[in-house]
Amino acid sequence: MALASIVASLLPREAGGMQRALPRFLAAIGRHSLQVFYLGLFLSWGSATAFRLFLAQGWLGPLLIGTGALILGAFAQGLDRRRAGRRAQPQGTAVAALHLANERDDWRRMLSEI
């Protein structure tokens, strides 16, 4: 986290290379770091099992690390797309606002009856 904080404070968002694929990929992982961490726990368990089954052969480490990084990045980008899809549906916020307004009216009625 400390390294990420230093990089974020020194590197502006509008830097020239930030719109390329790798920085966007890493930024998506950073935006969803908690969910990515959870998935990474399961992937590390699976990797440890694979190491035990295949007796830690030399080709296995780089393969699992690369595959795991791609899975985590794809997962984070999927979360980004899901988040963008929710923002594109403004009626959801209107429905939520109406629901909150109805709850507030219910509370006022209950308090007035006391």
Domains of the chain: total: 1
5 occurs within a structural domain: no
Tokens (6 digits) for 71: 């899975």
Residue 98 in this model has a pLDDT that exceeds 70: no
52 occurs within a structural domain: yes
8 occurs within a structural domain: no
4 occurs within a structural domain: no
Residue 92 in this model has a pLDDT that exceeds 60: no
The closest alpha carbon to 75, from 112, 22, 38, 114, belongs to 38
Output DSSP code: residue 17.
G
Tokens (6 digits) for 34: 């908690």
Of 6-10, 65-69, 86-90, least confident by mean pLDDT is 86-90
Tokens 């719109």, residue?
A: 19
11 occurs within a structural domain: no
13 occurs within a structural domain: no
User: Residue 89 is part of which domain span?
Assistant: 20-113
- What is the average pLDDT across 22-38? 86
pTM of the full structure:
0.61
Instruction: Please give the single-letter amino acid code of residue 17.
Output: G
State residue 91's pLDDT score. Answer: 55
> Given pLDDT bands bounded at 50, 70 and 90, which one contains residue 40?
very high
The answer to whether residues 63 and 23 touch, using CB atoms and an 8 Å cutoff, is no
Q: How many Å apart are CA 25 and CA 19, to the nearest integer? A: 10
10 occurs within a structural domain: no
80 occurs within a structural domain: yes
Give the chain's mean pLDDT.
78
